[in-house]
Amino acid sequence: MIGLEKKINYQFNDKNLLETSLTHKSHSSPNNERLEYLGDSIINFYVAEKLFNLKSDLPEGKLTQIRASLVSRSSLNKIAHGIELDRYIRLGKGETTENNSIAGNAFEALIGAIYQDSSKESAYNLL
What residues act catalytically?
Answer: 40, 108
The angle formed by the CA atoms of residues 118, 4 and 79, to the nearest 5 degrees, is 90
CA 107 vs CA 8, 55, 71: distances in Å: 11, 26, 11
